[in-house]
Amino acid sequence: MKFKIFALALVAFVGMQAQEKKEETDKTNKDKMVVTKTKIINVMENGEMVQKKVMIKTTKEQKIKTDPSYEGTINAPRVFPATKVSKVIYIDNDEDPFYDSQSELTFYQHDGKTYAFNPTDTGFEISEKESNETLANARFSNNADVYLLETGDYSGIGYFRNGMFVIEYYDDDGTLIVKKFNDSKL
């Protein structure tokens, strides 16, 4: 009985070691660069100027791969797969040393088009991914969950909910228009 318990423990230990080796291999097969920038912005709150700290952390990752047709050979040429770029915006709304909220740069889709949400000092810009043309500016508001949205055609509000970015505005007829941008896992 002792032998069976010992054998089972040994198999479990070897399995855990193999898993750790695989995780280490996954980490080393990526080219990764992280850039962090911190800025202080001034915001008017209740008639007085308040400083808020914004930190933008940009991570660029690309898998390191070789041409699969040269598999098993030495000095196989390198292929360059797509680079994954992610930006996380941290916002500090008060005097403590901790950041109060964060949002990550993602791509969203609406009506078959893909839009990039690029962070700025005052919020983020919405641009069409293909043309890189800025279509709207979303600025921080007093409420950390709501952004003030301004486009060439209308002004409204925007907020993130359930993996979507939702825009609400009134058209010229006084009708409330709601647009939902679905999260695009690019």
Residue 25 pLDDT greater than 50, yes or no: no
Q: What is the pTM of this model?
A: 0.44
Token couple for 63? 């898998």
Provide the pLDDT confidence category of residue 170 given band limits of 50, 70 and 90: very high
Q: Six-digit token pair at 155?
A: 């002004």
| Residue 10, token pair as written in the block | 């040994």
* 7 backbone dihedrals φ, ψ, rounded to 5°: -65, -40
Residue 9 has, within 13 A of its CA and on its CB side, a CA count of: 6
pLDDT on residue 98: 67
Share of the chain above pLDDT 70, in %: 72
Contacts of 4 (CB under 8 A, 6+ apart): none
Q: pLDDT tens digits, residue range 40-99? A: 877 777 778 777 778 888 887 778 888 889 888 888 888 877 666 677 777 776 665 667
Structure tokens belonging to residue 163: 């993996």
Please report, in angstroms and rounded to a whole number, the separation of the first and last CA atoms in the chain. Answer: 53
Residue 21's pLDDT is what? 44
Q: What is the pLDDT of residues 108-137, one digit of tens each?
A: 777 778 788 777 778 888 888 788 788 888
Give the alpha-carbon dihedral of 85, 43, 135, 156, to 10 degrees: 120
Residue type, 138: A
pLDDT at 4 > cutoff 60: yes
Q: Which residues of 82-109 are buried (b: 16+ CB within 10 A; e: fewer)?
A: eeeeebebbbbbeeeeeeeeebebbebe
| Mean pLDDT over each residue of the chain, to the nearest integer | 76
Q: Helix, strand or coil for residue 105? A: coil
